[in-house]
Structure 1
């Protein structure tokens, strides 16, 4: 996996992929494309479909788009639900994560002022509430993960983004105790916890502009 088109080597869109691989006890190699190399243009034009990163190589399979990579890994490691119905629900959850991520990215890269931090608590309140309801329904009626009783690719994506929000505004999940507990529960999975405590994760900036 390679990092995305950002000024600093950072977690970026690859971090949920790293979390999934670490939790599934997989090893991987990263080749970071520096901004200097990227700006020369040849790498972007000649080797990157859609002219963007991340790029992921798995044997003979080359993939772009972080969510396509997550879904490929989900199919490879049985992280796509137990049946077609759960798979469809996981797609829904993951697409909802992208709505939340868009709001986060707008704050980080376009509106990062002290007064704008209210967006974390107010601008994404509706989406956080919807996820809180989803977790509550699943907590009561099925298991204790997002959809069904087993970890999925959507869990890594959602937990990674919510953890980013908690760095920016530590109290942003205070009104959603089940959602906060869900984040802690997933992050406490032994292999994932080891990765999240590693210097490789902790020393890597969350965002490419240094804002977090």
Structure 2
């Protein structure tokens, strides 16, 4: 049996970063896919600690909250920085990713048609901090923090790939971020994952907008 079980909807959503992390780290897992009909019946939702998915089962440990899951995998697999300083910076990066992800989710599910233009216009201001962080680490030629990949890199990569679909060319003004996405996406296991039918055919969002 694989050590991990992911319980989530048949979309990329908040799980694609952890799928990329597990794939790139050579980990196996199984997925319990929850369709919207099952979810709407209410019993599974009622059993979830916060009434939401994803859920990760790691042996007898049950975790909810996607960022808690990413941090747990980071600690377990040794990709949480080399010391407390790097771990603190990675927490900061991941919180920044979450801030932008919430903005994105709000757009997708509540204001897509009316709000997309203004969202894209404001996007450079939200991307600039990540470009700045890259510039401060080995002139942008490495990872977001330190010299090894981290849980936050997978989360940031997922969010940037999603935004390149929402707003093609959004990274054109950010050469370090553009190179970062290309560099991480070329890692052999990630490259294979990103080209796989499972990833390509999995909707980004539950309402079909992207």
- Give TM-score scaled by structure 1 length: 0.93
SS in structure 1 opposite 2:56?
strand
- Tell me by how many angstroms 1:183 deviates: 1.0
Q: Are residues 1:140 and 2:145 paired?
A: no
Q: CA shift at 1:120, angstroms?
A: 4.2
Give 1:37 deviation, angstroms: 1.2
Alignment of 1:86-97 (within 5 A): 86-97=86-97
Asked which structure has the greater RCO (Cα within 8 Å, sep 6+), the reply is: 1
Whether contact under 8 Å (1:107, 1:116) holds in the other structure is: yes
Name the residue aligned to 1:110. 110
> Any idea what SS the aligned residue of 2:32 has?
coil
SS of the counterpart of 2:136?
helix
Q: Which runs of 5+ in 1 are unaligned?
A: none
1:168-212 per-residue CA deviation (whole Å, 9 max, x = no partner) reads 111111100111111111111111111111001000000110001
**C-alpha offsets along residues 120-166 of structure 1, whole Å, 9 cap, x if unaligned?**
4322322201111111111328x610000000000000010010000
Which residue of structure 2 aligns with residue 127 of structure 1?
126
Deviations 1:44-88 (A, max 9, x none): 11x211111111101111100011110111011111000000000
Question: How far apart, CA to CA, are the structure 2 residues paired with 1:131 and 1:83?
Answer: 21
Q: Say if 2:55 is the partner of 1:55.
A: yes
Quote how far apart the aligned CAs of 1:116 are.
3.2
State the Cα deviation string for residues 18-54 of structure 1 (Å, max 9, x = none): 0000001111110111111111111111x21111111
- Residue in structure 1 matched with residue 8 of structure 2 by the alignment: 3
- Any stretches of 5+ residues in structure 2 without a counterpart? 1-5
Distance 1:130 1:103 in 2: 15
Distance (Å, rounded) in 2 between the aligned partners of 1:166 and 1:180: 10
Report what 1:19 is aligned to: 20
Q: CA RMSD in A?
A: 1.3
Q: Does 1:155 align with 2:135?
A: no
- Decide whether the 8 Å contact of 1:81 with 1:148 is kept in 2: yes
How many residues align structurally? Answer: 205
